[in-house]
Amino acid sequence: MRTKVFAVIGFVLLLYLLAVVGSVSGSGGTYTVNTTGDWDDGFCEPLPGGDCTLREALDKANSDGGGSTITFNIPLTDTGYAVSGITGTWTISLTTSLPCLAEGGTIISGTTQALFIGGDPNVDGPEIEISGASAPGTYLLCIDSADNVVHGLVINASPGYGIWIGMPDATSNTVSGNYIGTDAAGASKLGNALDGIMIVGGAHDNVIGGQTPEQRNV
């Protein structure tokens, strides 16, 4: 019940963020991640004929000329479903760092998975887990531009940083409602080797967390 309430609240927050980001970033695309795979064949397509990985969605968002939205609708039959032993979770096991958010105005919302899939949500936290246990690299997710939102994800086990926010252009970004350095239940530590969130290189005016329960990071 708690997750359903948070999912609805998260969706309302997503609509608000879409309005705010859309007003400053122009019109980009909406890309729906439908697999926990980590390849990039240059396409971001719907099932059953195609597929769209998170890596492919990020590449599309970085090249479509405006603020974009990345949502999740991964089926229960996906091989990454509940591999962590936690019901209602999908684990994206990275093989290397994800592309940096370079264009600006992109929203990544893990709360959309519960809304799309309907039943079987994670009652203890976010549904989408991004794991760096098999990923060499400095970070899992990187933000180099302005007005991006990273919301409702589990980010853990990075060999370096969970989220890297760098460069002077990385301003007015929001990182909220995430479990960082824990499992998808928020019960066990799966730490990122260096820092969960690192802000460097002149990045400024970024918001980490918020004042309401659905905005706060664990």
Poorest-pLDDT segment among 2-11, 156-165, 182-191: 2-11
Please, which pLDDT band fits residue 2 given cuts at 50, 70 and 90? very low
Contacts with 47 (C-beta within 8 Å, 6 or more apart), sequence order: 34, 35, 75
For the cut 60, the answer to whether the pLDDT of residue 74 exceeds it is yes
Contacts with 104 (C-beta within 8 Å, 6 or more apart), sequence order: 25, 67, 145, 146, 147, 148, 169
Q: Does the reported pTM lie above 0.75?
A: yes
Average pLDDT of the chain is 90
Per-position DSSP letters for 53-89, written without gaps between them = -HHHHHHHHTTSSSEEEEEE---TTSTTBTTTS-TT-
pLDDT at 27: 76
Phi, psi for 97 (deg, rounded to 5) = -60, 145
For the cut 80, the answer to whether the pLDDT of residue 95 exceeds it is yes
Q: Percent of the chain having pLDDT more than 90?
A: 81
**pLDDT digit string (tens) for 196-212?**
999 999 999 999 999 99
Phi, psi for 60 (deg, rounded to 5) = -65, -45
Structure tokens at 28: 């980009």
pLDDT, mean of residues 178-195: 97
For the cut 70, the answer to whether the pLDDT of residue 131 exceeds it is yes
Q: Please give the single-letter amino acid code of residue 61.
A: A
Q: Is 83 left (phi over 0), alpha (psi -120 to 50) or beta?
A: alpha
Contacts with 70 (C-beta within 8 Å, 6 or more apart), sequence order: 30, 31, 32, 33, 54, 57, 58, 61, 106, 107, 108, 109
Residues 124 and 185: beta-carbon distance below 8 Å: yes
**pLDDT digit string (tens) for 11-41?**
445 544 444 444 344 578 999 999 999 999 9
115: three-class secondary structure by DSSP:
helix
> How many CB atoms sit inside 10 A of residue 69's CB?
23
